[in-house]
Structure 1
Amino acid sequence: MPGSNARALEKARSIPCDGLILDLEDAVAPDAKAAARDAACAAAASGGYGRRTVTIRVNGIGTEWHDADLAAASAAGPAAVVVPKVDSAAAVQGLVAAMERAGAPDHTKLWAMVETPAAILDALAIARASERLTVLVLGTNDLVKELYAEHVPGRAPILPSLHTVLLAARAAGIAVLDGVHNDVKDTEGFLAECDQGRQMGFDGKTLIHPGQVDGANAAFAPSAQAVEDARGLVAAWGAGAGSGVVTFHGRMVENLHVESARRTLSIAEAVAALEG
């Protein structure tokens, strides 16, 4: 949501999304940067967004606005500060040090946008660079541009990069969010991309329009049948504890299946809490 748009910041209070990125970067014109910074920081500090995870995306390292953005966002204490074009572990460590100098509370984490060839190749080092870094965000638009690739259905030109960042996030034990779908009128393409991201293993998808929220929620939330099956599997595992062999719907159950079922239930609980 553009930090310079008061109406958008107000509307964000009612959007049924998991998280908000109050943007100071691409969505804000140069002459509105300072005002957007003040507005986004005030909004993030207001506590008026309920259960939503509220973050602030600052302008990139090396821009004329970055230092002031990072200091103000850190002091405002959002759930996270989102930084574009993070290319190395050293950049992560520098960002964390700057956040701490600015008084960022412990709950304010760092989300790093991975959107350049250098970042893809160093994704694991980036993901492991600091405990304050908790999320990698794919910047697929910039990545396509940097690779001289094309936006095509199925995203074949960038699938290796998507997989690389997924592997890095999972190896580091942090979350990873898929990139945006640019054409807000292309519902079919958007939903296909949501399904692809979920099937690949992404934790969620970044969105550019409120009209995309329902589709993303439906794609990433477990179905009623999946929740029912997960409850049954966990119950069967508990009932069969100590027997050595547990089956559910005719299939042998191992601990890895139970872990997956519990994850499904935790997502369902989070969705229910958000809807409530």
Structure 2
Amino acid sequence: MQNVTQPFRSVLYIPGSKTRALEKAKGLPVDAIIFDLEDAVSPEEKIAARELLAETLRSTDYGPRKCIVRVNGGDTAWGADDLATFIDVAPDAILLPKVEDGNVIAELAARLKGDTTIWAMMETPRGILNAPEIAAAPKMEGFVMGTNDLAKDLGSRGRAAMITSLQLCLLAARAEGLVCVDGVYNAFKDEEGLRTECIEGRDMGFDGKTLIHPAQVAVSNAVFGPSEDELDLARRQIEAFEQAKAEGQGVAVVDGKIVENLHVETATRLLAKADAINLLEGA
């Protein structure tokens, strides 16, 4: 279940094999880090990367940033040992690749220690179609959209071909109170293209975006974070509704629009998220 105040504006992939990147990540203004042992690590580096990442997470404080480890799949030569290692390390979450049903989630959930949760890569047609089952599995906390792999399996081109899959996962995630973050934008030097895709993802309802380069962080944080105008409106909505309640009214009016209790709930969550962002950015 999602902590509704915890921000996930920027979720950055960091290769588990790169000592310098692991060190640099401590100072990056990201909300969450996916320490990747899968796609970002070559086969000959897999075992060494697992050992390096395990030692790093045992000895390094990443502050309020959510620490998520993406392991290799269970059908690979490294998946079982990855799971055994990081069940023991107990990061904030373990991210499973190419999840296609709830069984693999339930099996991992039975083995987890402490407060470690499970995230699922949603990146295959079968996984998308089974999104409600996966979202409802035990210890689930979040979905990560794997749009590159999904496009490969679909044989599709362009963002428009992803809309149905993205919306299905969002619906399933929200039905179970999960986090749901959008897929990566591959052209990491194209800031305006990234901004456009972030705005689209934000307006669809995603909590944030997965990123492949630190240069993308500022744009994602800005788009998915509350603006000063939004925070000002939230404060005024709460104030107006409280005043209306004191006068025996069930609704208020702000800027010519009705404000009901549901708007106040949204405003309260927005202000709490802004406080969490300020805490993270001050770390």
Given the alignment, which residue of 108, 111, 115 partners 2:116?
108
Deviates more, 1:174-183 or 1:231-240: 231-240
Aligned pair 1:72/2:85, yes or no?
yes
Question: Normalising by structure 1, what TM-score?
Answer: 0.94
Offset of residue 35 of structure 1: 1.1
Aligned residue runs from structure 1 range 26-175, under 5 A: 26-97=39-110, 100=111, 104-130=112-138, 132-150=139-157, 152=158, 155-175=159-179
Identical columns (%) = 48
CA distance in 2: counterparts of 1:167 and 1:45, whole angstroms: 35
CA distance in 1: counterparts of 2:204 and 2:59, whole angstroms: 36
- The answer to whether the 8 A contact 1:44-1:77 is kept is no
Offset of residue 177 of structure 1: 0.7
CA distance in 1: counterparts of 2:169 and 2:113, whole angstroms: 27
Offset of residue 44 of structure 1: 2.0
Match of 1:72, SS? helix
Match of 2:249, SS? coil
Instruction: Give the residue type in structure 1 aligned to 2:129.
Output: L
Aligned pair 1:16/2:29, yes or no?
yes
- The answer to whether the 8 A contact 1:136-1:177 is kept is yes
Listed one character per residue, the Cα deviations across residues 234-266 of structure 1 (whole Å, up to 9, x for unaligned) are 111122223233222232211111121112112
Offset of residue 109 of structure 1: 0.5
Given the alignment, which residue of 253, 271, 276 partners 2:277?
271
Match of 2:30, SS? coil
- The answer to whether the 8 A contact 1:44-1:55 is kept is no
Instruction: Give the residue type in structure 1 aligned to 2:115.
Output: H
CA distance in 2: counterparts of 1:234 and 1:71, whole angstroms: 48
Listed one character per residue, the Cα deviations across residues 99-137 of structure 1 (whole Å, up to 9, x for unaligned) are x1xxx333111001110000010000110011x111011
* Aligned alpha-carbon RMSD (Å): 1.1
Listed one character per residue, the Cα deviations across residues 131-164 of structure 1 (whole Å, up to 9, x for unaligned) are x1110111000000000112x2xx1011110000
Question: Normalising by structure 2, what TM-score?
Answer: 0.92
> Where in structure 1 are there 5+ consecutive unaligned residues?
none
Offset of residue 33 of structure 1: 0.8
The residue aligned with 1:188 is: 192
